[in-house]
Amino acid sequence: MNITIIGTSNVGLVTGACFSKMGNKVYCVDIIEEKIENLKNNILPIFEPQLDGIVEISQERGDLIFTTDIKEALDNTDIIFITVGTPMADDGSANLDYVFDAARDIANNITHDSLVVVKSTVPVGTCFEVKEEIESILNENDSDVKIRIASNPEFLKEGSAVNDCLHPDRIVIGAEEDEVFEIMRDLYSSFVLNHERFIFMDIKSSEMTKYVANAMLATKISFMNEISNICEATGANIQNVRIGIGSDKRIGYDFIYAGCGYGGSCLPKDVQALINTAKCNGYEPKIISNVEIVNEKQKMKLAEKIVKRFGDNLTGLTFAVWGLSFKPYTNDVREATSLVVIPELIKKGAKIKAYDSHAVQEFMNALDDIYLDSIEFADNRYDAVDGCDALILITEWKEFRSPDFDLLSEKLNQKIIFDGRNIYDRKIENKGFELYQIGC
């Protein structure tokens, strides 16, 4: 099939690359010329395992085309995906400006009947509004082009997005016509040859499904983080509690790890957007309204533990930080715990030596310039701890899971570790380390 993808950030780039890997011809459209030129030269705006190889090979085959010319793309395709961002507005709602910009661009350039698929995460009812916007402009232009609309929310986890796209655990399609369901089934058939994974539903339910999925995951994380705080207060161990409840098949082990808070572009904004949707429809949500409150407080837990250990004045102390991205296998630092903990320590007089294999530049771009003079960025994990008074683990990259503790003993001024992801065994205390974890 021939496909147009509007938007080349995380979702659009991964989706377009994976469709092209399956032999489809894909036009990826963006308005940023520099971004498109970089993509043509295999310079990607994001780090995502496997993605660079797929982009390079698909371009060489001619199956993946990056362009700023939306008319060229629409002239040669019949299925159009809107994958632009929907960032959080000041009131917590989803900012749909980019979605409707894309809708207007489609309406002003489309020349034949097509299917428009909204993959961006949007509030309930948005797909119908997009259709109305396109049809209104088509009528103004005296065009006889007909469009159909579908919702196809993405469920791509940063750090494993390519694998999630190529091997989906479900493909949710929202539509109002049987023919649209069949088109989408044909499009995705190569991804699900060995198992039926389609879930067909109405458009509004499809839009809601994406928000509810992320809100549920966020709720599980915040719930366990709150329980970890109760464990600390009572002397229980969250690690034992996690195993005890995870063995219950009704609960399971996924997303019940205590830590120093979640981040990223999806969970925080989608929780807020769902809260906003509920309130706009006359319902006051009780549970999800507190999910983000718990999460924001959790991001301060490491700083609080450090202050409790060293005192409120951290002048003269240097802390090593391992991990800046909000999760492993991505360079994304949006809503990352590092952006909370590091400024808090600097404000109390500390110096920082930080290491992350992929997210340093993004972290520097996101952080207020007033803090950068107090941070030294190391080229490897052991250089980061050299001469520091404690190690703070924020992101659980695999290279941090089994370090050389003897070498850490030599390089650290004080053998102290603040483990924000509970990845270290307390046996290291037998080597003289002080180990501070979450909920245990």
How big is the CA angle at 118 (ends 153 and 93), to the nearest 5 degrees?
Answer: 80
3-class secondary-structure state, position 88: strand
Count of residues making up the chain? 440
* Cβ within 8 Å of residue 395, ≥6 positions away: 322, 323, 324, 325, 326, 327, 328, 336, 338, 356, 359, 421
From the candidates 28, 231, 260, 266, give the one annotated as an active-site residue.
266
Separation of alpha carbons 321 and 355, rounded Å: 6
**DSSP states of 223-243:** HHHHHHHHHHHHT--HHHHHH
Separation of alpha carbons 239 and 423, rounded Å: 10
Closest CA to 298 of 211, 223, 352, 400: 223
* Cβ within 8 Å of residue 85, ≥6 positions away: 7, 9, 98, 120, 265
Determine contact, residues 106/74, Cβ cutoff 8 Å: yes
Determine contact, residues 153/209, Cβ cutoff 8 Å: yes
DSSP annotation of 94 reads: B
DSSP annotation of 190 reads: G
Determine contact, residues 117/147, Cβ cutoff 8 Å: no
Where are the alpha helices (H) located in 311-351, listed in sequence order?
Answer: 338-347
Separation of alpha carbons 429 and 95, rounded Å: 49
**DSSP states of 263-286:** -SSSHHHHHHHHHHHHHHTT---S
Separation of alpha carbons 215 and 223, rounded Å: 12
Strand-pair partners of 208: none
Determine contact, residues 112/78, Cβ cutoff 8 Å: yes
Q: Specify whether 280 is catalytic.
A: no
Determine contact, residues 438/412, Cβ cutoff 8 Å: no
- Which sequence positions are flagged as catalytic? 266
